[in-house]
Structure 1
Amino acid sequence: MNWAQHYDPLGNALLSTLVAALPVVVLLTSIAFLRIRIHLAALMGLAVALGIAVFVYRMPVITAGATTLYGAAFGVFPIGWIILNIIFLYQLTVERGHFATLRDSLAKIAPDPRVQVILIAFSFGAFIEGMAGFGTPVAITGAILIQLGFKPLHASGLALIANTAPVAFGSLGIPITTMAQVTGLDAKEISMMVGRQLPFFSLIVPFWVVFAFAGWRGMRGVWPAALTAGAAFAIPQFLISNFHGPWLVDILSGGCSIGALVLLSCFWRPKADWAPPAESHAKGAESPAPAPDRSASPPGESGPLVPPRKQLLQAWLPWGILTAFILCWGLRDVKGALDHLGAPKVAVPYLHHVVQRMPPVAPPDAAPEAAEFKLNVFSATGTGILLAALVAGAV
């Protein structure tokens, strides 16, 4: 028995929209204002969504339950599989001491904390977003900033702000491809439309993240770095999303942004060492966050010592190997060959070809929605990350 989607169940477009938004409102309100733990807030949002689906939209209970299990399975694989393996690679670099060298090399490129925020939170964070996504870049870049002396709350907040520009494409374009699967639209067309809107925000975000950290006066001192990082990210973001697709947008754009900042650092530095005033500005929006504590640096040094070239190579090698594997796993021919090794599809009971999309969202002759769980272990991005981590650990 099919269930036909009804987009205005209450007979009022505004009221139906407000009711449909309730799960998201409950989730965000629970986290931001009620201070409820994230997993509990997510369960509350899920309960509200199920209630609205069953009692407002008249979705059969068994279909709503099947949808919930389908979404949970997708959260475990491929999303959870990606997060698990990127954290494995991260912990591997930490245990071998490579992560500290990576941190010091980034700090030496940008001794000024304002430029560090741009380089690490925005540029390097976008690079990690393209490979792992799903909150991983916030965790990794936040850890780097904390080790550089930033307070944990400020580090996490700055990392979250910086992660707004690349998050639409996520890990190998998964948000775009998932939307294509759900809507039946072409993934490349969605990529093109997203890629024509986001570059404007990508130009703004580096300025925004520095403003959040250092205030207006602090931002003015590093505007060349903010403009360079934003432009070096926004231009490739537009070109790749429009002429290639969503899969490699963040990886290549983030890499371009890092490279541009490295080149800029060869001939430009902020005019003077920056430090926030002893007292906050009167206006909260212009109050800079406390500067990182640099008391751990050797006397007379403005930042960490330059690590030996061999250590630098060892520190960056795992991420280079990861990039190579991710680029390889992103190729359609490689994915197709790996899928031939085994990629079983399981039709979700009580959901597969049960939901019928209706006009105007779908054409009148649209087929019922397919709901198949694809267990493509070999071609999954998380598997590529796991192999990259194993290779990086062996060399």
Structure 2
Amino acid sequence: APVAFGAVGTPIIIAAQVSDLPDMAISQMVGRTLPILSVVVPMYLVVIMAGFRKSLEVMPAILVSGISFAFFQWLTANYLGPMLPDVIAGLASIISLMVLLRYWKPKATWRFQEEPPQTLETDRQYSAGQVLRAWSPFLMMTLMIIAWGLQPVRDALNFVGQLKFYVPGLQEGLLKADGSPLVIKPFDLNYLSNSGTALLLTGIISLPLVGLSFREGARIYLATVTQLRYPII
């Protein structure tokens, strides 16, 4: 997925904050250019892995995955905002490809030379309830992010939990070329309306949906933080 909408739209949101442009306007402009690239990316990846001739054998899958991703990326970026384009587009691309593969499959199976033989169980069946339960965290996340992107919800969350303050030493410390002080914006700590808060709440709500206890969830969370401690820093 192209990175402009990655991390629930963080690059777009930061661009809006530093430029004083509406994040929706930036989302719409990026959302009208990136879909062109999104159509090309699946073809590009398959050609790198298997070569151009082999890519022709799976062209229906390439077109379905690329076009569905591009369409929903454009639709979401232009009408829902910058937080969900790659999430919804990714899910739509997966579902579209699953539907295609129910009616079409490539004639030959391509594998890496060093890849071991596959031993997957192909006769396993899942009920609709099991499938819905497995997808529930992604569905919950989509709903939460949509809610967080609504302006009334964002304003209400900022009214309850938002801190703005100037970083000491910066206000008079940066000068323009003519010697006049550069106007520094206050640091905006919107800890409730931040999309990361929506993701955290989604994770907590999803624990019982996928059959995990809150104790197990806390243990997994701490293990993840420990594993990613250096990237976090």
What is the TM-score when the length of structure 2 is the normalising length? 0.75
1:291 Cα deviation after fit? 6.9
CA contact under 8 A between 2:88 and 2:142: conserved in structure 1? no
1:327 Cα deviation after fit? 1.9
Task: State which of 69, 91, 97 in structure 2 corresponds to 1:261.
Answer: 97
Task: State which of 12, 31, 38 in structure 2 corresponds to 1:202.
Answer: 38
Alignment of 1:282-293 (within 5 A): 289-290=112-113, 292-293=115-116
Alignment of 1:122-201 (within 5 A): 163=1, 165=2, 167-201=3-37
CA contact under 8 A between 2:84 and 2:142: conserved in structure 1? no
Alignment of 1:1-395 (within 5 A): 163=1, 165=2, 167-272=3-108, 274-276=109-111, 289-290=112-113, 292-298=115-121, 303=122, 305-352=124-171, 355=174, 368-395=182-209
Partner deviation per Cα, 1:285-318 (whole Å, 9 max, x = no partner):
xxxx4475344325xxxx4723344432322222
Q: Distance in 1 between matches of 2:140 and 2:115?
A: 31
Which residue identity does 2:165 align to in structure 1? V
CA contact under 8 A between 1:351 and 1:371: conserved in structure 2? no
Q: 1:192 to 1:314 in 2, by over 3 A?
A: closer
CA contact under 8 A between 2:140 and 2:202: conserved in structure 1? yes
Which residue identity does 2:202 align to in structure 1? A
Q: 1:189 to 1:309 in 2, by over 3 A?
A: closer
Q: Distance in 2 between matches of 1:385 and 1:327?
A: 11
CA contact under 8 A between 1:339 and 1:378: conserved in structure 2? yes
Structure 1: runs of 5 or more not aligned: 1-162, 277-288, 359-366
How high is the sequence identity, in percent, across the aligned residues? 36
Q: 1:189 to 1:339 in 2, by over 3 A?
A: closer
1:200 Cα deviation after fit? 1.5
1:202 Cα deviation after fit? 0.5
1:176 Cα deviation after fit? 1.1
1:233 Cα deviation after fit? 1.5
Q: 1:213 to 1:291 in 2, by over 3 A?
A: farther
CA contact under 8 A between 2:81 and 2:149: conserved in structure 1? no
Q: Distance in 2 between matches of 1:201 and 1:340?
A: 39
CA contact under 8 A between 2:42 and 2:62: conserved in structure 1? yes
Q: Distance in 2 between matches of 1:296 and 1:330?
A: 43
Q: 1:249 to 1:355 in 2, by over 3 A?
A: farther
Q: 1:226 to 1:349 in 2, by over 3 A?
A: same
Higher relative contact order (CA 8 A, sep 6+): 1
Q: Distance in 1 between matches of 2:191 and 2:71?
A: 34
Q: Distance in 1 between matches of 2:75 and 2:131?
A: 31
CA contact under 8 A between 1:335 and 1:379: conserved in structure 2? yes
Q: Distance in 2 between matches of 1:297 and 1:172?
A: 33
Which residue identity does 1:324 align to in structure 2? L
Tell me which residue corresponds to 2:219: none
Partner deviation per Cα, 1:250-294 (whole Å, 9 max, x = no partner):
22322322232222223221123x134xxxxxxxxxxxx447534
What is the TM-score when the length of structure 1 is the normalising length? 0.47
Q: Distance in 1 between matches of 2:26 and 2:183?
A: 19
Which residue identity does 1:296 align to in structure 2? T
CA contact under 8 A between 1:354 and 1:369: conserved in structure 2? no
Which residue identity does 2:47 align to in structure 1? F
Question: What is the RMSD computed on CA atoms of the aligned residues?
Answer: 2.6
Q: Report how many residues are paired.
A: 206
Q: Distance in 1 between matches of 2:132 and 2:79?
A: 33
